[in-house]
Amino acid sequence: MTAVDPTSPARRGRGRPGYDQAAVLRAAVELFNRKGYDATSIGDLAKELGVTKPAIYHHFDSKEDLLRLALDDALDELTTLVSNASRGNGTAYARLRDVVHRSVEVLVAHQPSVTLLLRIRGNTAVEQEALERRRWLDDRLAALVREAIAEGALRDDVPPDLVSRLLFGMVNSLVEWYRAAGTYDAATVADALVTIAFEGLTRRA
């Protein structure tokens, strides 16, 4: 898939009139998030776009095909990010701060597909596979937290698995309230989140 200007809802692809693959996928993700994946049909998507069902099948084999591409959009960059953080140079503490900051930026850049990823329940093989990839990410991040505690850089009076859950729970909460058109850009939100999580809200003398 080629990059598409997200401000342009309708595009021509492969010389065929109508919506190109990226625009259909964007509309599908938006509809899955609004109505739920299970409750959305290819017919609903065609109706939403004002095209026929064959116009959708021109680009995608099935509804699951659309879901797989959307979830890969969310997971591929996060997987690269977390892999690099797990085996990078520097202290675990520095790598953890950095991966939290970058994950906020990835989440903002891919908000619709990450929203979908966080809402799937595992009813299909594609969803199961995505949830397995999510668990892999969670496990790597939890291991990085434990490594930073073992270094003595992170507080050790909170159970490590609660640290991981709460820290990335705060990151994931962004899908519910962050609006790209709002007041704060991704870097400002990432700075705020890292400051709160690592330094705490209490003012120090």
56 token code pair: 């959708």
CA gap 24, 138 in Å, rounded: 30
Nearest distance from C-beta of residue 65 to a second copy, angstroms: 22
Report if residue 193 touches a second copy, rule: CB under 8 A. Answer: yes
The residue (of 113 and 164) whose beta carbon lies closer to a second copy is 164
Report if residue 188 touches a second copy, rule: CB under 8 A. Answer: yes
From the list 109, 127, 126, 106, the residue with the least C-alpha distance to 118 is 127
Among 166, 180, 185, 187, binds a second copy (CB under 8 A): 166
User: In this chain, which stretch among 2-10, 43-51, 55-63, 181-189 interacts with a second copy, using CB under 8 A?
Assistant: 181-189
The helix (H) or strand (E) run that includes residue 133 is helix 125-150
Report CA dihedral (157, 158, 160, 165) to the nearest 10 degrees.
Answer: -160
Those residues whose C-beta lies under 8 Å from the C-beta of residue 202, and which sit 6 or more positions away, are none
Report if residue 90 touches a second copy, rule: CB under 8 A. Answer: no
Report if residue 155 touches a second copy, rule: CB under 8 A. Answer: yes
Among 132, 173, 180, 187, binds a second copy (CB under 8 A): 173
Amino acid at 141: L
User: In this chain, which stretch among 7-15, 24-32, 66-74, 154-162 interacts with a second copy, using CB under 8 A?
Assistant: 154-162
Report if residue 189 touches a second copy, rule: CB under 8 A. Answer: yes
What are the backbone angles phi and psi of residue 112, rounded to the nearest 5°?
A: -60, -45
CA gap 147, 161 in Å, rounded: 12
Binding site for a second copy (CB under 8 A): 34-36, 38-39, 93, 118, 121, 152-159, 161-163, 165-167, 169-170, 172-174, 176-177, 183-184, 188-189, 191-193, 195-203
